[in-house]
Chain A
């Protein structure tokens, strides 16, 4: 989607290695989110940020950490990847109260072998 990009788009990594996914936005939106999507579970929130250095946990945060040192970048780190973290990861942005709708990125497909 225009204004939000995720990198990499695809990644294969080995169990036990650290992995960092990047979300970059050019919309200057205050809120940023990381979701994962798995068959049978829909999208589930991992972490979100409501400002620079302000982050909070979502419903499936175990095994993940995040950082937001700039408004435009939100990083998701898997400290030690496991096979259960194989998933498609989506980043989203929103800017309440002006805009409560979420804009999602195109996703990162991560495979942990």
Chain B
């Protein structure tokens, strides 16, 4: 699985969009980009995933650059409950592991 690089921490004002970047410059053509988050002392929670097209669901949007070397997770209206560590993971379909890095600690500020 390709490695990812994320900033260690970010702040976002409540109600604003949170844009979390991820670099995955060595991603291969059949690797998906996954995002998970972990709220303090809970298990990680799946957010969204994509291959090359932008994706949106009820939680977030995922924007993947055309060359697929980076992506951005967008939380459109951050709330205090979105304070968590966000993990960007690239993974081959069918691979039997998710490699979690250290993620980005997002703090939503009132």
User: Which chain B residues border A33 with CB–CB below 8 Å?
Assistant: 97
Cβ of A106 < 8 Å from any Cβ of B? yes
Cβ of A64 < 8 Å from any Cβ of B? no
Cα distance A44–B100 when bound, in Å?
Answer: 7
User: Which chain B residues border A50 with CB–CB below 8 Å?
Assistant: 96
Cα distance A38–B41 when bound, in Å?
Answer: 12
B4-50, CB < 8 A from A: 32, 34, 36, 41-46, 49
Cβ of B102 < 8 Å from any Cβ of A? yes
User: Which chain A residues border B44 with CB–CB below 8 Å?
Assistant: 43, 90, 92, 102, 104
Cα distance A40–B102 when bound, in Å?
Answer: 7
B73-110, CB < 8 A from A: 87, 93-94, 96-98, 100-103
Cα distance A106–B83 when bound, in Å?
Answer: 17
Given A96-B94, A100-B93, A107-B41, CB of A42 within 8 Å of CB of B46 = no
Given A42-B103, A100-B49, A101-B49, CB of A1 within 8 Å of CB of B97 = no
Cα distance A56–B97 when bound, in Å?
Answer: 11
B97 touches A90 (CB 8 A): no
User: Which chain A residues border B96 with CB–CB below 8 Å?
Assistant: 31, 48, 50, 56
The minimal Cβ–Cβ distance linking B1 to chain A, given in whole angstroms, is 12
Cα distance A43–B98 when bound, in Å?
Answer: 9
User: Which chain A residues border B45 with CB–CB below 8 Å?
Assistant: 1, 104
The minimal Cβ–Cβ distance linking A66 to chain B, given in whole angstroms, is 14
A106 touches B43 (CB 8 A): yes
Cα distance A92–B46 when bound, in Å?
Answer: 11
Closest B-chain residue to A106, C-beta based? B43
A-B complex: 6 closest residue pairs judged by Cβ atoms: A104-B43, A101-B46, A43-B100, A42-B100, A45-B97, A104-B44
Give chain A's interface residues, CB within 8 Å of chain B.
1, 31, 33, 40, 42-45, 48, 50, 56, 58-59, 88, 90, 92, 96-97, 100-107
